[in-house]
Amino acid sequence: KRQALDLYVLAFNNEQEKFQNGLTDLFNVIIFQERLTAAEQIYIGAKQQFATDLLILRFDTGTLLNESAFQLKELTSGRAYKIPGTN
C-alpha cells in the first residue's frame, strides 16, 4: 500500500508540473489530487487496521494488560502475565 501511495504522489507531482508548464488543465490536476487523497485514506486505514489487529493479538497473548490490571492494589504476578490458553 505504501508503494501505491508513493506512486500516486509522484503522478500528482508530475501533473502539477505539467499544469505549471501549460501542458494540462486544472481539471486533470484536481482529478489526480482526488486520487491521491483516496490513496492516502486507504493507506491510513490499512495502518489503522494493522495497529488494531496487533493490539488484539497482544491483549489475547497476555503481552498487553487491560486497564483493571493497572490498579496497584489489585496487581499481582498472576494478573501481570497470562499464559495463552489459561484463565
The confidence score (pLDDT) of residue 76 equals: 58
pLDDT averaged over every residue in the chain: 84
Residue identified by cell 503522478 is 11
The 10s digit of each residue's pLDDT in 39-81 is 999 999 999 999 999 988 888 887 776 666 555 555 555 655 5
75: cell is: 496487581
Q: In whole angstroms, give the CA distance from residue 80 to residue 60.
A: 13
Helix H segments across the chain?
Answer: 2-20, 26-61, 77-80
Please state, in angstroms and rounded to a whole number, the distance separating the CA atoms of residues 38 and 33: 9
